[in-house]
Structure 1
Amino acid sequence: MAIVHEHLPEPDVQQSLHELRGQLRGSLIEPQDPLYDEARAVWNGMVDLRPRAIARAGAVSDIDIVLASARRSGLALAVRGGGHNIAGHGTVDGGLVLDLGALREVRVDAQSKRVVVGPGATLGDVDRATAAQGLAVPLGVISGTGVAGLTLGGGVGWLTRTGGLSLDNLDSVDVVTPAGEHVHASAEENPELFWGVRGGGGNFGVVSSFTFRALALRAAPLGGNLFYRPEHWRNALLAFDAWTRALPDEMNPIVSFLVLPADFGMGSEPWMAIGFAWVAEDHQAGLALVGQLRAAAPPDGEEVGLTSWPEWQSAMDAVFPKGSRGYWKNVSFSRLDEEVVDAVLGFASELAWEGTGIDIHHLEGAFGRVPEDATAFPNRSARYWLNVYGFWRDAAEDERLTAFAHKAYSVMRPFAEQGEYVNFLGAEVGVQAPDAARSAYGQDKYQRLVALKDRYDPQNLLRLNHNILPSGG
C-alpha cells in the first residue's frame, strides 16, 4: 500500500512552523523574510524552488526538532549540508528545508588520526583543519563541496587511489532517524546501517556527525597538469592508459577536457589536461613517473610543483561558482583502447565553449581493493569513471548542454560496467524514478538498501534524494 504524505490545512501548518520557530536554536526563514532568496538558493542555478520554510540549524539538537515538525505537518522535507548537490535535492517547492550549513565544526585528533566532522562542513573546512596537523581525509576536488553529501554517496577525488573513497575512510557516523532515534553506526555497532550509509546517501536518517580516519601527509603534495591541444589528444589518451597500468597508489591522476575560464589564461580553445597529485615523501619518484608520461606524450604546456593540500583542493573552485546551471551524467568503464578513445574524442572534440567539462578518473589502487560487498557503492572493479558536467550561466543553453551530456552518456554506454555514481547524477534519480536508483546500485545492493529503508524510514520521509523506495511504496 502506498504511503501518502498530506499537508495539514494551512492554519495548522502555520501553527506548526510557529512552534518550530520557537524551539529552534537556529532560525526559521519564510518567504516574507529578507534572507529568503539567499537562503533558498542551492549551487545548481537550474534548481529554482520556493520552500515553505527553511530551518537553519544552530545546533545538532535542531535536527530532532525539524524532523518532528516535518512528521507533524506533513511538509515534504529536504536536507541540505553544503548545498553543492548537482541534483538540487537540498531544497523543495512548498516544503521544509533542514539547512545544516552552519554546523561546520571539524575536530582533529592528530595522535589517533581521527577527524570528527559536522554535517554542514565543506571540503575546505576539513582540508584546512587536517593539513595543519600533517593529515588529509580523502574527499573530492572542489573545496566548496559539502562533506556530508559527498561522503554518503561515495567521495571520488584526488586521494582515491591512495586512500579510497571518502566513505571508505569513515570510522563511524551518528544518525538521527526520521522517528527521532539516535543511532551510532560503525563496523562493530549497527554494521548493516553503516554499510548502507556508505553509498546509500541520506535515505535512512540525518547524519549528525562523521568520524573519519585520516591519512598522513608527510610531505607537501606534488601536483600538476600536462596540457594538450586537440590534435594531440588521441596519442595522449592512449599513452595515459598505458601509463596507468603500473602506477603506485601514491599517484592520483584525473584527465579533464574543457575550455578553461578566462582567469586561467589558457585562451578560448579546448584543452585536455592530465592532472595528478603525488602524495609521498619521495618527490623525485613522482617526478620520474610524470617524466615517463611526458616522454610518451609530450605536452603543449605544463605546470608541476609542490603545493599545500588546501591550495590543491581549491585550485578548480573558479570553474564551479555557486549559481552555475548544471546537469551531469556518468559512466564506469575499464577499457581505454583505440575504440574507446575514438568514442571519447568523438564527443570531447565538440567542446568549444566554456560551460561543460569531461573528467576521466583513474581508479584502482586502494579504491579497487575494497571488496565489492563491503559498502553500498555500486562498482569497485572499474578502472575508470567518466563524468560529463555542466557549469554554464545562460538559461538559454539548458537544452543544448543537457543534450550534450546525454549524448556523451549514450556514446559510452556500450563500454559501461555496472552501476552509476549517484553523486554524479542529475535530478532524474529520485522518488519519481525508482528504476533509475535500482539501476545505479544494481539489483542486489538495491534490495539490501530497501531492507534498511523499511527499518529506518518506512514512510519515506527522507525521499528528496537518490531515493530508495521502501517496500510499502
Structure 2
Amino acid sequence: MDTVEHGERDTEIARELEKLRTRLTGELVEPGDPEYDEARRVWNGMVDVRPRAVVRAGSVADIDPVLAAAQHTGLPLAVRGGGHNVAGHGTVADGLVLDLAALRRVEVDPGTRLVTVEPGATLADVDRATTPHGLAVPVGVVSATGIAGLTLGGGVGWLTRSNGLTLDNLVDAEVVTGTREHLHASAEHNPDLFWGIRGGGGNFGVVSSFTFRARELPPSVLGGNLLYGRDKWRTALQAFARWTADLPDEMNGIISILRFPPGFGMGDEPWLIIGFAWMSPDHDEGLRLVERLRADAPPDEEEVGPVQWTEWQSAMDELFPKGARGYWKNASFSRLDDEVVDALLGFASEITWFGTGIDIHHMEGFFGRVPAGATAFPNRSARYWLNVYGYWQDAAEDARLTAFARRAHAAMEPFAELGQYVNFLGAEHGPVTPEAARQAYGERTHLRLVELKNRYDPGNLFRRNHNILPSAA
C-alpha cells in the first residue's frame, strides 16, 4: 500500500470511529487520551500492544455498532470480558477492542436458582450475588477471573467433581454472532450454537448475557490444605492417587506445587499442597475422608475447617495479580503411577523461585459423567488435568520461565490424553493453523466447530481467540 492509499485508509478509519463515538452509550478511548494506557492494559503483562481504539461499553447496546465498525473498517477486533485471559486475547495491536468490563450486573432468582450475568462480571461478582441466597455457580479458582471467558472455554474449579464445569451449568445465552444475528442459544433454541459456545471459546460471537442454574451451598464449606515439604512429595502424590480412586462427588481436590509469596510466611522452599473443598453439610463425613488421606500421607503443615465460600474462592487471588507476566500449558491424563510421578517430580523439582507453579485438578465425578460430545469441551474421560503456570514480574525472565512450562508439558506428553483446555493455554506466536485447533479439541469436535464457524462467523471476525478457522480461510 503506497503512502496516499495508507493516508486515505487512516482518514476513513478516523471517520468511522467518529461515527461510532456518536452511537455509543459508553466511551471510545484512543491514543493520546488520558485513559488510553489504562484502557489498553490486560491481565498478562507480557501482552503490551497499542489498539487503534478501545470501546468501554456502557451497555449491551454498544455491541452492535462496534461489530459494524470493525467490519466496515477492516480493523481486527478483540473482545474483552472480565479481562483475565492468560493468552492476552482481550486486546489487539492497531485494532478495535470491545471492552465489556463495566457490564457486571448479576441477577439471582432464589426460587428457580437461575442466575443471569452480564458479560463483564467476574467470579467475585457472581459469588457476592449468589452466596447470600445459599447458592453458588460452579466457577474457577481465582475470583478476579471474568465469567464470560471462563464459561466459553470451560470453567474448571472447586466444584468440578460435584457439579461439573461452569459451562455444564449454563442454561441459556444471548449471542450476537459474526453474521450480526441476535440469537437466543439454549438446549431448545439454536442448540448447535449452544453446543459450540460451551467450550468453543469466543469463536462465534459476543455473548451479551449468560444464565446459569446455581447449586445449593452449605452454610459453610469444609475446606483445607495439607502441606508437604519436598522430601514428602512422592509419598503425597502416591497417596493422592489412592485417595482419589473412590471419592464421592462432593469431595473436590486440587494439588498445587509452588513457592508461596513472601507475605505468606511459608519460607523460601516450595511446597506441595493438597487442597480440598467438601461440598456437603455433613462435615463429619468429609473429615473422615480427610483423615484417610492424612493417615496415608501425614502432612508437615495443615489447615482444615469450615470456611465461607467467598473467602475460599478468593484465597489464591494474590498469586495472580493484574500485570503479572504469564504463560501457561496444560495436559489431561489418567495415570498417577510411579512413571508419571517420576515425570511430575522431574520438572516440579525445578520450582525454586516464586512465580511459577503447577496444579493437578482431580476431575471425574459429575464432570466425567457428562457424555463426550455433549459440549465442545474436548475430554471428559481424563481423571486429572495438569496446569503449568507462570506469573512473574521481570521481563528478563520471559525466556527462561516460558521454556520451563514447555519442558514440563513435553515431559507429560507421553501420558497425555485427548485435547487441551483452552483457558489454560498461553499465547503461541506464529500463523494460526487448523492443526492448532485440532490439537486442542480433537478431530471430531474440531470438524463440528468448523461447521458452526462457517454458519455463524464465516468472515472470522472473532479471531482473537484460540481460533477455529472457517473453511474459506
Q: TM-score range by the shorter chain?
A: over 0.9
Q: Say if 1:404 and 1:7 are closer, same or farther in 2 by CA, change over 3 A.
A: farther
Match of 1:256 in 2: 256
For 1:254, give the aligned amino acid: I
Retained in 2: the 8 A contact 1:152–1:198? yes
Aligned 8 A contact 2:433 2:469 in 1: no
Q: What secondary structure is seen at the aligned counterpart in 2 of 1:51?
A: coil
Question: How many angstroms apart in 2 are the aligned matches of 1:430 and 1:25?
Answer: 36
Given the two structures, how large is their TM-score scaled by the length of structure 1? 0.98
Matches for 1:14-413 after TM superposition, within 5 Å: 14-413=14-413
- Residue 429 of structure 1, CA deviation: 7.9
Deviation of residue 434 (structure 1)? 3.0
Asked if the contact 1:430/1:465 (under 8 Å) is kept, the reply is no
CA 1:409–1:8 in 2, change beyond 3 Å: closer, same or farther?
Answer: farther
1:427 has 2:427 as partner: yes
Measured in 1, the distance between the counterparts of 2:66 and 2:341 equals 49
Secondary structure at 2:472's aligned position in 1?
Answer: coil
**Counterparts of 2:275 and 2:8, CA distance in 1:** 53
Check the 8 A contact 1:430/1:464 in 2, yes or no. Answer: no
In 2, the alpha carbon distance for the partners of 1:406 and 1:59 equals 40
1:439-458 aligned within 5 A:
439-458=439-458
Figure out how many residues of one structure are paired with residues of the other and give that number: 468
User: Shift in Å at residue 431 of structure 1?
Assistant: 6.1
The CA deviation at 1:179 is 2.6
Q: Deviations over 1:304-334 (max 9, x none)?
A: 1111111100000000000000100000000
Classify the secondary structure of the residue corresponding to 2:373: helix
Q: Once the two structures are superposed, what CA deviation does each residue of 1:233-273 show, in whole Å capped at 9, x if it has no partner?
A: 00110000000011111110000000011121111100000
Report the more deviating stretch, 175-184 or 353-362. 175-184
Shift of 1:177: 1.1
Contact map agreement 1:28 1:56 (CA 8 A) in 2: yes
Matched with 2:3 is none
Structure 1 residue 427 displacement after superposition? 1.2
Q: How big is each residue's C-alpha offset from its partner over 1:48-106, in whole Å with a ceiling of 9 and x where there is no partner?
A: 01000000100001001100111111100000001100000000000000000000000
The alpha-carbon deviation at position 175 of structure 1 amounts to 0.0
Q: Which stretch shifts more, 376-385 or 175-184?
A: 175-184
Residues 7, 75 of structure 1: 8 Å contact kept: no
Q: Give 3-state SS (helix, strand or coil) of 1:372's partner.
A: coil
SS at match of 2:249: coil
Q: How far apart are the structure 2 equivalents of 1:461 and 1:288?
A: 53
User: AA paired with 1:388?
Assistant: V
- Measure how far apart 1:218 and its partner are: 2.9
Cα distance in structure 1, aligned partners of 2:96 and 2:299: 51
Report the AA paired with residue 432 of structure 2. Q
Q: Provide the identity percentage.
A: 68
Distance 2:465 2:8 in 1: 23
**Partner Cα distance (2:98, 2:262) in 1:** 36
Q: For residue 467 of structure 1, what is the aligned residue in structure 2?
A: 467
* Aligned mates of 2:392, 2:344 — CA distance in 1: 21
TM-score (norm 2): 0.98
